[in-house]
Amino acid sequence: MLGILVLILIASTNYQNNMGFMTGFILLAVGFLSVFYTFRNLKGIEVRCQKSGAVFATQDAVVRVQLVNNTKSQRLGVGVGLAKKSVIYLDVDEQAKSEGVIYLSTERRGLLDVPRIACTTMFPFGIFEAWSWVRTPYQILVYPKPLPCPEPLIASSSGIEEGQTREKGSEDFQSLRDYQAGDPIKQVMWKAYARERGLYSKEFEDYVGEHHTLTWDSVAHYDKELAISYLTDAVLAAEDSQNVYGLELPQQTIAKGQGAEHLHSCLKALALM
Amino acid sequence: MNVKELPITRPGIVPLLVLVQAVVLLPLWFYIPAWISAVTIALLLGKYFMHRHGAKAPRWILLIVVLLCVGGVFWQFKTLNGRDAGIGLITLMYAFKLLEARSYRDASLILFISFFIVVTAFFYSEAIWMGLYLLAAILMILLGLVALNSPKGVEGVGRIGKISGVTLLQAIPIMVLLFLFFPRSSAPLWSMPSDTQAGSGIDDTMNPGSIGALRTFDDIAFRVDFEGDVPPRSEMYWRGLVLSEFDGFTWFKEQHSPIRQELELPMTPTYEYRIQMEPNNRNWIFGLEDLAEAPNGAYLFSDFTWNRRRQTTQRFIYSAQAYEIDFSQRPLTEFQLNRYLQLPDNSNEDTREWSVEQRQNHQTDEGFIRWVLSYIHQGQFYYTLTPPVIEVDSVDGFWLDSKQGYCEHYAGAFVYIMRAAGIPARVVTGYQGAEYNPYGDYYIVRQSDAHAWTEVWLEGEGWRRIDPTAAIHPSRVEEDLRSDASSRDGWMEEFGSDTGFEAPQGFLNNLALRWDALQSFWSETVMGYSRDMQFGWLRKLGIERHQYRYLGYGLLATILLAGFIFGYLVLRSTQRLEPVTKYYLLLLKKLRDHGIDCDRTMGPRDVLQLTRATSQKVYSRAAPALKTYIAMRYQNEQLDSEAVKRFRQQVSRV
């Protein structure tokens, strides 16, 4: 823009063309005004974030960003994202809200700080960019990535029937179907979900009343991260097969239990190990 | 995604770009060579249809067409330099750029270049409608920019139209201030390429037919604005050129006329005026007789004509004065005498003999001149714009045979006769008369006022203007030329004519004059705004020419002022808090005043609990307000103006 402006002013000076000067000055004034307009386009917008639930490592965490416009004018083309260069664009009407989703890639287990969020705009003329960084207080829990262990991990089975293997139990239900809203959370096949194969519900299940305690000792001879991944996989498998299971970790022991809550506390313990 | 990656395939963007280009190119299509116009139109249509059908032009075809076009421009102008070739080339490239535009960056570049293309059209016309068109075109470009930068593209034309319209309206006052303050240069930065455009106007030669052709042009030659006294219209002889060389057929301007020596001028000029001259692509400029003081960039010759160094290719505005100069003590030099008595040998012999013969019947030069004029008046001389064609010996053919002609026939013959009789004489060409515009209080001189008259040198008096055309008897002026001749010619009074023509003063004529007044204002005050005018009004503010820095201060002040005004206007509105939030903050402040340690980071429920725990008395008063707030904010309570009002009252009771 600056180049064009200089070109216009030089040509106008040379040819003593007042109409050219006018055009140049209008362009200059528009550039000047766009400083204010671009700044205003961001001003007064409230940014609200809603973090998603826990995710498994290497899965994308989801942060819902809501732009709230309490002002009396529209805000168009407001980009939100993790970096100024990669944003999604939202338009917010006056006195309205607009929502977008930012995906946060995860690598390692543990607590992930939601990074500051860029809020940027070049509207209306694309001459200047206004931006602001929004900090959120959130942390997202990242579960370890599940990996199937090459050896079975049933250490101390306070089992009811000896010899009944995990494999057997998992074969007891054959039919899987797509998750439908309203399916009991118990029926969700978490293991498949963790592997990013989508949400599935088990059609019906035999209640396989196995009781396991998964111990750190059984995987302690592996590399630490690998061991954690194996245990994660085992926990998910146990939950999937409706087993009652417990977890024994060096610093923490989780009593036997079952269900989403229990699963979460097991995975959290593994994530934060 | 970055804004720079917003695809231009969003609905409406490409058609809008096509439209912007069409609007921007429209004025140029009338001026650039027709084939370039046709190619650009074809390219725009091509882009539009390819966009609709999702097709893309193969690059190699584009390359070939581009090369062909560049070749075409070169073939047309024989150069790629210069204004016309440059503009031809740039318009072609501009249209090609859209054809291959694929990204945000391309589109953005096209839109900014559009501003430049708009400017190029002004090299051809600075008329007032172009000014209005400029605003429309800029609005279109801004619209394109806004659409390009909105994720939803053109969706909601009203919305983006409002943003660009408001911005343009706000940009105009800033533009005006910058226009007034921006430092101007008085000379071009580089020499302007010579102009091939033909202008109309007086030429530096005169032969039978040259001015006659002009008489049919109603184009404006220049406008005159008098300061103080105005000469009668019959005395308005706008001097352009002195033709003193004659070859028997054609009169020429003398080649190397000396620049005028300083004359002693009377203290006050007779007339002072400003002339706003239309471009005529010639070097000379016009003024009343007895000129003094050449305007900027012009010099004055000893025969009282002006020349500019450059041709007038753009409207040129200058101030001038007319003086009455006393020649009685300044005889002609030998050189001048020879020049103004020079006649070619072996041509127009009959008229020469006639002249010498007649001169002998008169005692004085003045008596002879009077007699020749009355000879024209009483003889069978006719004024017509369609005289018989004369092949050779133009004076003999006219004076002795046809006796039909117009100003240049009469002027040429009269000077010839005077010289033959030994009286120094010369032909003067320029314009005579003017039309008064009461709406703008100025005079319009048109090409149809072009005229030729003569000057004779009388011993002891100096140059005297004689207009032989004015001596023709009114009954022998062609019917449709009478009103025209009557307004210009002095013989109306001199010879007591009773024709008394009135200038047409109908409604349309009034309208035309008003329009011309507007155009004159536009071209003189707006388009003619120059460094001189800039310093002119700065001087009225008490700032002298050498104090350049005031322009800088003015510019800076403009920017700062505009910054404050727009910062206030644009950013003010967003400072206001939504009413509910405002009252809630007020509530918190009141609670703090009551000693309750709350702040905005606490949720309202916590504030409620804290209040109950701290002071039962405050709680009883603050609870309704807090509960209403919780209900409004978190429990889907209807948030209408009634509820807000209730909330305000509850807060005020705390």
Does A43 sit within 8 Å of B151, measured CB to CB?
no
Does A25 sit within 8 Å of B174, measured CB to CB?
yes
Does B526 sit within 8 Å of A25, measured CB to CB?
no
Name residues whose C-beta falls within 8 Å of residue B470's C-beta, 6 or more positions apart in sequence.
Answer: B488, B489, B490, B491, B494
Q: What is the pLDDT of residue B200?
A: 58
**Residue B191, in any domain of the structure:** no
B568 and B591 share one domain: no
How many angstroms away from the CA of A6 is the closest CA of chain B? 10
Does A11 sit within 8 Å of B146, measured CB to CB?
no
Q: What is the pLDDT of residue B5?
A: 67
pLDDT band with cut points at 50, 70 and 90 for residue A169: very low
Strands A244-248 and A211-215: parallel
Q: What is the pLDDT of residue B400?
A: 85
B171 and B224 share one domain: no
Instruction: Return the CATH number of the domain spanning residue range A46-143.
Output: 2.60.40.10
Tell which B residues from 561 to 600 touch A, by Cβ distance under 8 Å.
562-563, 566-567, 570-571, 573-578, 581
B552 and B597 share one domain: no
B290 and B420 share one domain: yes
Instruction: From chain A, pick out residues whose CB is under 8 angstroms from the CB of B130.
Output: 19
Does A26 sit within 8 Å of B171, measured CB to CB?
yes
Does B581 sit within 8 Å of A23, measured CB to CB?
no
Nearest alpha carbon to residue A23 among A35, A34, A13: A13
Number of domains forming the structure of chain B: 4
- Residues B135-184 have pLDDT tens digits of 999 999 999 999 888 887 777 667 888 889 999 998 998 898 888 888 77
Please tell me which residue, B166 or B197, carries the higher pLDDT value.
Answer: B166
Q: Does B130 touch chain A (CB under 8 A)?
A: yes
B166 and B235 share one domain: no
Please tell me which residue, B498 or B340, carries the higher pLDDT value.
Answer: B340
**Residue B477, in any domain of the structure:** yes
Q: Tokens standing for B242?
A: 């002195």
Q: What is the pLDDT of residue B437?
A: 81
Task: Say what the alpha-carbon torsion angle B288, B293, B299, B304 is, to the nearest 10 degrees.
Answer: 40
Residue A207 has pLDDT above 50, yes or no: no
**Residue B538, in any domain of the structure:** no
Instruction: Identify the residue whose tokens are 């940009």.
Output: B171
Section B443-455 average pLDDT: 86
Would you say how long chain B is, in residues? 654
CA–chain centroid gap for A151, Å, is: 32
Instruction: From chain A, pick out residues whose CB is under 8 angstroms from the CB of B188.
Output: 13-16
The order of strands in the sheet holding A96-105 is A45-51, A60-69, A96-105
B213 and B294 share one domain: yes
How many angstroms away from the CA of B64 is the closest CA of chain A? 28
Section A89-95 average pLDDT: 85
Q: Distance between CA atoms of A244 and B309, rounded to whole angstroms?
A: 104
- Residues B569-580 have pLDDT tens digits of 766 655 555 677
Instruction: From chain A, pick out residues whose CB is under 8 angstroms from the CB of B119.
Output: 8, 11-12, 17, 19-20, 23-24
3-state SS assignment for residue B121:
helix
Q: Distance between CA atoms of B594 and B625, rounded to whole angstroms?
A: 15
Instruction: Count Cβ atoms within 10 A of the Cβ of residue B450 and give its class: 0-12 exposed, 13-18 middle, 19 or more buried.
Output: buried
By the 8 A CB rule, do A188 and A152 touch? no
CA terminus-to-terminus distance, chain B: 50
By the 8 A CB rule, do B167 and A30 touch? yes
B484 and B586 share one domain: no
Measured between CB atoms, which of B142, B145, B189 is closest to A14? B189
- Residues B512-550 have pLDDT tens digits of 778 878 877 887 778 778 777 777 777 777 777 666 677
Which long-range contacts (C-beta less than 8 Å, at least 24 apart) are formed by B637-645?
A: B639/B580, B644/B579, B644/B580, B644/B583
Instruction: From chain B, pick out residues whose CB is under 8 angstroms from the CB of A73.
Output: 573-574
**Residue B522, in any domain of the structure:** no
Nearest alpha carbon to residue A234 among A252, A250, A251, A210: A210
| CA B177 to each of CA A235, B57, B101, B165, B584: distance values in angstroms, whole numbers, following the listed order | 75, 46, 36, 19, 45
How many angstroms away from the CA of B151 is the closest CA of chain A? 6
Q: What is the pLDDT of residue B488?
A: 43
Question: What is the rounded average pLDDT for all residues in chain B?
Answer: 79
Please tell me which residue, A142 or B218, carries the higher pLDDT value.
Answer: A142
CA terminus-to-terminus distance, chain A: 55
Q: Specify the DSSP class assigned to residue B389.
A: P
Closest chain A CA to residue B2: A85
Q: Distance between CA atoms of A29 and B559, rounded to whole angstroms?
A: 9
Q: Identify whether A124 is preceded by a cis peptide bond (ω within 30 of 0).
A: yes
| CA B517 to each of CA A132, B280, B436, B503, B511: distance values in angstroms, whole numbers, following the listed order | 54, 21, 10, 18, 10
By the 8 A CB rule, do B335 and B327 touch? no
Tell which B residues from 523 to 552 touch A, by Cβ distance under 8 Å.
526-530
B35 and B108 share one domain: yes
How many angstroms away from the CA of B3 is the closest CA of chain A? 7
How many angstroms away from the CA of B607 is the closest CA of chain A? 21
Residue B648 has pLDDT above 50, yes or no: yes
Measured between CB atoms, which of B149, B178, B575 is closest to A28? B178
Farthest CA pair distance, chain A = 101
**Residue B606, in any domain of the structure:** yes
Instruction: Count Cβ atoms within 10 A of the Cβ of residue B30 and give its class: 0-12 exposed, 13-18 middle, 19 or more buried.
Output: exposed
Q: How many contacts does A have with B, using Cβ atoms within 8 A?
A: 175
Q: Distance between CA atoms of A11 and A21, rounded to whole angstroms?
A: 9
Q: Nearest 5°: phi and psi at B422?
A: 90, 15
pLDDT band with cut points at 50, 70 and 90 for residue B17: very high
Closest chain A CA to residue B1: A86
Tell which B residues from 5 to 24 touch A, by Cβ distance under 8 Å.
6
Each domain of chain A, given as residue ranges in start order, spans 2-37, 46-143, 155-271
Q: Distance between CA atoms of B384 and B379, rounded to whole angstroms?
A: 15
Instruction: From chain B, pick out residues whose CB is under 8 angstroms from the CB of A22.
Output: 131, 134, 175, 179
B470 and B565 share one domain: no
B345 and B487 share one domain: yes
Instruction: From chain B, pick out residues whose CB is under 8 angstroms from the CB of A120.
Output: 3
3-state SS assignment for residue B139:
helix
Does A40 sit within 8 Å of B574, measured CB to CB?
yes
**Residue B525, in any domain of the structure:** no
Q: What is the pLDDT of residue B406?
A: 81
| CA A230 to each of CA A105, A151, A235, B276, B388: distance values in angstroms, whole numbers, following the listed order | 22, 10, 9, 93, 116
Whether ipTM tops 0.90, in short, is: no
Instruction: From chain B, pick out residues whose CB is under 8 angstroms from the CB of A79.
Output: 1, 3
Does B146 sit within 8 Å of A123, measured CB to CB?
yes
Range name among A35-44, A232-241, B51-60, B153-162 with the lowest pLDDT average: B153-162
B120 and B20 share one domain: yes
Q: Distance between CA atoms of B570 and B166, rounded to whole angstroms?
A: 11
B644 and B566 share one domain: no
The residue segments making up the domain with residue B139 are: 3-181
Measured between CB atoms, which of A11, A27, A72 is closest to B573? A72
